[in-house]
Amino acid sequence: MKWVAVWSEKAEKELSTLPNDDAKRIILKTSEVEENPFSYLERLTNSPYYKFRVGMYRVIVDVVNRKLTLYIVKVKKRSRVYD
pLDDT at 2: 87
For the domain that residue 74 is a member of, what is the CATH number? 3.30.2310.20
Q: What are 1-29's pLDDT values in tens digits?
A: 689 999 999 999 999 999 999 999 999 99
Quote the domain boundaries for residue 51. 4-81
For the chain, the average pLDDT equals 94
pLDDT at 83 exceeding the cut of 90: no
CA nearest to 72, candidates 23, 21, 1: 23
Q: How many domains does the chain have?
A: 1
Report yes or no on whether pTM surpasses 0.75. yes
Rounded to whole angstroms, the Cα distance separating 58 from 75 reads: 6
pLDDT at 8: 97
| Percent with pLDDT over 90 in the chain | 92
